A and B are shown apart, each in its own frame.
Chain A
Amino acid sequence: DAKTTQPPSMDCAEGRAANLPCNHSTISGNEYVYWYRQIHSQGPQYIIHGLKNNETNEMASLIITEDRKSSTLILPHATLRDTAVYYCIVRVRGRIQGAQKLVFGQGTRLTINP
């Protein structure tokens, strides 16, 4: 699986958009980009995933560059509850009968300031 690089920490003001970058320059054509977050003392929570098109759901937007070597997770209106560690993971989509084996890196510690 391709390796990802994320800044170790970021700050964002409450109510502003939080833009979290991720580099995955060795990503291959069949690898998806997944984002999870982990709020202190809880298990990670799935946010969004994509292959090459931009994706949006009720939690966030995912922007993937045309060459797919990097992506950005956007939290449009950050709140204090968005303070967490955000993980960017690239993974081949699970095959039939294959369980998902996500490998988590260090992630980005996002702090939302009032």
Chain B
Amino acid sequence: ETGVTQTPRHLVMGMTNKKSLKCEQHLGHNAMYWYKQSAKKPLELMFVYNFKEQTENNSVPSRFSPECPNSSHLFLHLHTLQPEDSALYLCASSQAGSGAPGGEKLFFGSGTQLSVL
């Protein structure tokens, strides 16, 4: 248990559906992240939130819409996805700006395995 919980664990959706991925961290961290991992490809950073403010959007298509209502919760809203968006979506959190050794550790959830039909 990493302290970062993602739901659902698996999701199958059609191209016209709207769904949301949820991430919750119980570590008191102030930064949260979305990563995408397609089959046989490295993890790709999608979005970064620091103190609830989005600080990074890595050229992600607008069919992916993140939301960070507070420092503990992060959502990824999905609409009109394409089959190539099928991937493992990982959420992570960290204590940004910590001066302590190891303060920049990222803690990852187990991910949501998304299949777009």
Contacts of A36 in B (CB 8 A): 106
Q: Does B72 touch A at the CB level, under 8 Å?
A: no
Which label, helix, strand, loop or mixed, suits the secondary structure of the B interface? strand
Partner of A100, one of B43, B88, B96, B110: B96
Q: Is the CB of A95 within 8 A of B97?
A: yes
Measured between alpha carbons, how far is A95 from B99 in the docked complex, in Å?
Answer: 8
For the complex, count residues of A whose C-beta is within 8 A of B: 26
Partner of B2, one of A32, A43, A95, A103: A43
Q: Nearest-CB distance from A42 to chain B (Å)? A: 6
With A43-B90, A46-B107, A49-B102 as contacts: A99 and B49 at CB distance below 8 Å: yes
Q: Is the CB of A96 within 8 A of B43?
A: no
Contacts of A42 in B (CB 8 A): 108, 110-111
The interface bits of chain A over 73-114 (1 if a CB of B lies within 8 angstroms of the residue's CB, else 0) are: 000000000000000000101111111111111110000000
Known: A102-B45, A102-B106. 19 other contacts (CB 8 A): A34-B104, A41-B88, A43-B2, A43-B111, A44-B90, A44-B106, A45-B108, A46-B106, A94-B96, A97-B50, A97-B51, A98-B97, A99-B31, A99-B55, A99-B56, A100-B96, A101-B56, A104-B35, A104-B43
A interface residues with partner B (beta carbon < 8 Å): 32, 34, 36, 41-46, 49, 91, 93-107
